[in-house]
């Protein structure tokens, strides 16, 4: 057996022990490993939604498993299986299936074959007319973005922007809302529509983490920061997703500030998304926040039942499947808080019905949902952790996040940092920023300190374990 197959088979063994059979059948069994080059394992997933769902739910498990097999330098890449080589289905800008990458560090804009990629911020094009692939996923277009009360402002502003990028009052547009409510989809739809209406405009989509890692690379290779700046300053529509990730990263924020100012002065369009409204973005510099105010803040809210039904129906229609209205309504009534989960439930239901050779009925859907609730480990948020720790120690939020070094406050704060490091995907810099502007080294130190205490003091250990238990209960 080729090595990559062996490696993936080993990973699957571990994964099998960590997720229930239902989740395993739905999300892992369909994965096909395709290559292993320099510690980068590439796995093929059936649709880009799989990538999205795996990223949201299983990234930690995948990361740990892979590192166990390949060591700490292990990396994972996804490629979306384009059926029968019909590239227009997914990623028309690529000749080969797009490689998507999860939160595991990877070299920006290089693929595993080491083939040159056109989009390279460190190569300054001599010609303005350079073709730069916008890195957009064609599935995330306006036609697929169902309108509802929850998104009508953001959606119509997005459409106006695509018609006249940089020329509307919505510059920047700052799209915010909870996870799974359509921020990435809408931001990309703006990019896709702009490209459709103005093929000559340079549109680029990237997430804040990618921007940051490019900036860090540029900063390490001295002199490259200017190249980095020039590259981003010639873009007509710059879309940066999840900018809350910039929290606590001063260098990246500074650079972004320059790019932002330049683009805005030149009448170029900025599209930003975040999981929080600007006022709640701790760790982001005031001067940057005040720049956002020049444009439009557009919130994506929870979709109502009617919208949830419409979203499911559209998905079902696109996939060419038939499911009764009764089942659709059942799913839409039971999954309210997150559109990604809603779509995930549909994929699970289809997988179950195929595997069990059972018809898709409300009964099957309800069976599936009961399993889903037990397994779909939603990541706990920093806010929830802080709340639980405050409650346990009888502290107010202000006290916990204050600068005081008094032990009765500092220790709970360190516990909360420790829990945040272990139970969320956030970086130590981000966590520090959320804890009243602490440095990332403070967070790392807190993590170590609490672990040491737990190893030496049983009572203390139980206190932390009890908090962990509480967090698990409050996840749903
Ligand atoms: P976020 O970036 O806010 O976490 P996404 O944009 O990734 O959320 O959306 C999660 C999933 O829900 C995606 O698969 C997306 O296509 C789908 N989705 C979100 N909003 C809508 C909508 N209004 N219509 C159709 N699908 C949607
Ligand atoms: Mg997103």
**pLDDT tens sequence across 401-413:** 999 999 999 999 9
Q: Would you place residue 107 in the very low, low, confident or very high pLDDT band (cuts 50, 70, 90)? A: very low
3-state DSSP assignment of residue 48: helix
Rounded to the nearest 10 degrees, how much is the dihedral formed by the CA atoms of 186, 191, 194, 200? 180
| The pLDDT of residue 390 | 93
Confirm whether 222 is domain-assigned.
Answer: yes
Q: In this structure, what are the phi and psi dihedrals at residue 241, rounded to the nearest 5 degrees? A: -95, 145
Q: Which two tokens stand for residue 169?
A: 């009052």
Atom in ligand 1 nearest the alpha carbon of residue 49: 14
- Same domain (yes/no): 184, 288: yes
Q: Would you place residue 17 in the very low, low, confident or very high pLDDT band (cuts 50, 70, 90)? A: confident
Distance CA 143, CA 293 (A): 29
* Contact between residue 326 and residue 205 where contact means Cβ atoms under 8 Å apart: no
Ligand 1 pocket mutation pick from 90, 152, 182, 312 by most atoms within 8 angstroms of CB:
182
- Distance, CA 185 to ligand 1 centroid (Å)? 5
- Same domain (yes/no): 133, 277: yes
Confirm whether 350 is domain-assigned.
Answer: yes
Q: What is the mean pLDDT of residues 57-82?
A: 87
* Residue 56 or residue 93, greater confidence: 56
Ligand 1 pocket mutation pick from 339, 342, 378 by most atoms within 8 angstroms of CB:
339
Confirm whether 308 is domain-assigned.
Answer: no
Confirm whether 304 is domain-assigned.
Answer: no
pLDDT of 113 > 60? The answer is: no
3-state DSSP assignment of residue 364: helix
pLDDT of 195 > 90? The answer is: yes
H/E stretch holding 240 reads strand 237-241
Q: Which two tokens stand for residue 378?
A: 């939603």
| The pLDDT of residue 82 | 58
Confirm whether 118 is domain-assigned.
Answer: no
Percentage of residues in the chain having pLDDT higher than 90: 59
Across 17-21, 26-30, 302-306, 429-433, least confident range: 17-21
User: Domains in the chain: how many in total?
Assistant: 4
- Distance, CA 445 to ligand 2 centroid (Å)? 30
List pLDDT tens digits, range 448-466.
999 999 999 999 999 999 8
Place of tokens 């890692």: 213
Q: Is the dihedral of CA 122, 127, 131, 135 positive or negative?
A: positive
pLDDT of 387 > 50? The answer is: yes
Q: Would you place residue 474 in the very low, low, confident or very high pLDDT band (cuts 50, 70, 90)? A: low
Give the residues surrounding ligand 1 with Cβ less than 6 Å away: 49, 52, 144-146, 151, 177, 179-185, 311, 339-340, 343
pLDDT of 86 > 80? The answer is: no
3-state DSSP assignment of residue 144: coil
Residues 6+ apart with CB under 8 A from 6: none
- Distance, CA 302 to ligand 2 centroid (Å)? 15
| The pLDDT of residue 85 | 36
* Residue 268 or residue 220, greater confidence: 268
pLDDT of 306 > 50? The answer is: yes
- Residue after which a domain boundary falls, among 237, 268, 299: 299
- Residue after which a domain boundary falls, among 265, 299, 333: 299
Give CA separation, 341 vs 18, 334, 344, 365, 369, in Å: 20, 11, 5, 14, 11
Residues 6+ apart with CB under 8 A from 370: none
Our measurement of the distance from residue 458's CA atom to the centroid of its chain's CA atoms, rounded to an integer in Å, reads: 37
Q: What is the mean pLDDT of residues 188-196?
A: 97
Distance CA 97, CA 173 (A): 31
* Contact between residue 188 and residue 349 where contact means Cβ atoms under 8 Å apart: no
- Same domain (yes/no): 368, 402: no
pLDDT of 93 > 60? The answer is: no
Q: Would you place residue 56 in the very low, low, confident or very high pLDDT band (cuts 50, 70, 90)? A: confident
- Same domain (yes/no): 171, 33: no
Residues 157-181 as b/e (b if ≥16 CB within 10 A, e otherwise) read bbebbbeebbebebbbbbbbbebbb
Distance CA 391, CA 451 (A): 21
Atom in ligand 1 nearest the alpha carbon of residue 185: 6
Distance CA 292, CA 272 (A): 9
* Contact between residue 239 and residue 195 where contact means Cβ atoms under 8 Å apart: no
- Distance, CA 158 to ligand 1 centroid (Å)? 15
Q: What is the mean pLDDT of residues 201-227?
A: 89
Query: What is the residue range of 266's domain?
Result: 127-299
| The pLDDT of residue 361 | 94
- Same domain (yes/no): 224, 89: no
| The pLDDT of residue 464 | 93
- Distance, CA 147 to ligand 1 centroid (Å)? 12
- Same domain (yes/no): 167, 292: yes
Q: What is the mean pLDDT of residues 71-85?
A: 75
Confirm whether 15 is domain-assigned.
Answer: yes
* Contact between residue 38 and residue 112 where contact means Cβ atoms under 8 Å apart: yes
| The pLDDT of residue 20 | 86
- Same domain (yes/no): 69, 138: no
- Same domain (yes/no): 139, 43: no
* Contact between residue 385 and residue 434 where contact means Cβ atoms under 8 Å apart: no
Nearest CA to ligand 1 atom 16: 185
- Residue after which a domain boundary falls, among 337, 372, 407: 372
- Distance, CA 394 to ligand 2 centroid (Å)? 35
Atom in ligand 1 nearest the alpha carbon of residue 151: 23
Distance CA 288, CA 199 (A): 30
Q: What is the mean pLDDT of residues 359-381?
A: 77
Confirm whether 274 is domain-assigned.
Answer: yes
- Distance, CA 421 to ligand 1 centroid (Å)? 27
DSSP assignment letter at 145: S
Domain at 388, CATH number: 1.10.1750.10
- Same domain (yes/no): 354, 420: no
Our measurement of the distance from residue 165's CA atom to the centroid of its chain's CA atoms, rounded to an integer in Å, reads: 25
For residue 322, list its beta bridge partners. none
Domain at 13, CATH number: 3.30.300.180
Q: In this structure, what are the phi and psi dihedrals at residue 111, rounded to the nearest 5 degrees? A: -105, 175
- Same domain (yes/no): 271, 366: no
pLDDT of 150 > 90? The answer is: yes
- Distance, CA 168 to ligand 1 centroid (Å)? 25
List pLDDT tens digits, range 256-279.
999 999 999 999 999 999 999 998
Distance CA 359, CA 280 (A): 46
Distance CA 285, CA 395 (A): 27
Q: Would you place residue 226 in the very low, low, confident or very high pLDDT band (cuts 50, 70, 90)? A: confident
Distance CA 40, CA 79 (A): 12
Atom in ligand 1 nearest the alpha carbon of residue 339: 12
Atom in ligand 1 nearest the alpha carbon of residue 56: 4
Q: Compute and round to an integer the Cα radius of gyration of the chain.
A: 23
Q: What is the mean pLDDT of residues 104-122?
A: 37
Q: Which ligand is nearest to the CA of 345?
A: 1
Ligand 1 pocket mutation pick from 340, 345, 378 by most atoms within 8 angstroms of CB:
340
- Same domain (yes/no): 178, 275: yes
pLDDT of 173 > 80? The answer is: yes
- Distance, CA 314 to ligand 1 centroid (Å)? 12
* Contact between residue 157 and residue 228 where contact means Cβ atoms under 8 Å apart: no
Q: Would you place residue 336 in the very low, low, confident or very high pLDDT band (cuts 50, 70, 90)? A: confident
Q: What is the mean pLDDT of residues 144-162?
A: 97
- Same domain (yes/no): 184, 52: no
Closest CA to 269 of 168, 156, 157: 168
* Residue 80 or residue 186, greater confidence: 186
What is the number of other CB atoms lying within 10 angstroms of the CB of residue 324? 12
- Distance, CA 299 to ligand 2 centroid (Å)? 14
Percentage of residues in the chain having pLDDT higher than 70: 87
Q: Which two tokens stand for residue 224?
A: 């490259």
The pTM of this model reads 0.75
Chain mean pLDDT for the chain: 85
Atom in ligand 1 nearest the alpha carbon of residue 144: 25
3-state DSSP assignment of residue 273: strand
Nearest CA to ligand 1 atom 18: 182
Nearest CA to ligand 1 atom 9: 182
Nearest CA to ligand 1 atom 26: 145
Confirm whether 162 is domain-assigned.
Answer: yes
Nearest CA to ligand 1 atom 6: 182
């Amino acid at each position: 057996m080729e090595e990559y197959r062996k490696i993936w088979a080993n990973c699957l063994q571990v994964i099998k022990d960590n997720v229930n059979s239902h989740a395993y059948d739905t999300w892992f069994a369909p994965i096909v490993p395709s290559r292993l080059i320099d510690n980068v394992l590439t796995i093929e997933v059936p649709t880009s939604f799989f990538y999205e769902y795996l990223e949201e739910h299983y990234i930690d498990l995948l990361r740990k498993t892979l590192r166990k097999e390949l060591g700490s330098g292990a990396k994972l890449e996804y490629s979306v299986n384009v059926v029968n080589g019909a590239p227009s289905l997914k990623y028309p800008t690529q000749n080969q299936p797009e490689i998507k990458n999860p939160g595991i560090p990877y070299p920006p804009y290089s693929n595993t074959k080491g083939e040159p990629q056109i989009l390279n911020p460190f190569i300054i094009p001599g010609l303005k007319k350079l073709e730069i692939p916008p890195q957009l996923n064609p599935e995330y277009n306006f036609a697929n973005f169902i309108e509802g009360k929850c998104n009508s402002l953001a959606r119509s502003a997005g459409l106006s922007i695509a018609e006249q990028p940089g020329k509307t009052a919505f510059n920047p547009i700052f799209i915010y809302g909870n996870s799974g409510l359509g921020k990435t989809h809408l931001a990309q739809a703006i990019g896709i529509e702009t490209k459709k209406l103005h093929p000559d405009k340079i549109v680029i989509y990237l997430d804040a983490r990618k921007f940051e890692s490019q900036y860090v690379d540029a900063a390490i290779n001295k002199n490259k920061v200017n190249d980095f700046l020039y590259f981003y300053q010639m873009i007509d529509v710059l879309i940066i997703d999840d900018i809350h990730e910039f929290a606590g990263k001063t260098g990246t924020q500074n650079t972004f500030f320059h790019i932002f100012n330049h683009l805005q002065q030149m009448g170029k369009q900025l599209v930003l998304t975040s999981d929080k409204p600007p006022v709640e973005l701790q760790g982001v510099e005031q001067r940057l926040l005040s720049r956002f105010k020049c444009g439009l803040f557009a919130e994506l809210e929870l979709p109502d039942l009617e919208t949830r039904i419409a979203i499911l129906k559209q998905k079902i229609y696109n996939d060419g499947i038939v499911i009764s209205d009764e089942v659709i309504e059942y799913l839409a009534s039971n999954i309210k808080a997150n559109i990604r989960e809603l779509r995930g439930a549909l994929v699970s239901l289809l997988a179950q019905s195929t595997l069990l050779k059972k018809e898709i009925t409300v009964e099957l859907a309800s069976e599936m949902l009961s399993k889903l609730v037990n397994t779909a480990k939603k990541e706990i948020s920093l806010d929830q952790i802080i709340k639980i720790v405050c409650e346990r120690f009888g502290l107010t939020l202000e006290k916990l996040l204050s600068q005081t070094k008094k032990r009765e406050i500092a220790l709970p704060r360190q516990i909360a940092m420790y829990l945040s490091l272990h139970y969320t995907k956030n970086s130590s810099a981000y966590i520090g920023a959320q804890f009243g502007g602490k440095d990332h080294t403070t967070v790392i130190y807190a993590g170590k300190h609490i672990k040491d205490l737990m190893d030496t003091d049983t009572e203390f250990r139980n206190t932390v374990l009890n908090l962990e238990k509480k967090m698990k209960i409050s996840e749903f």
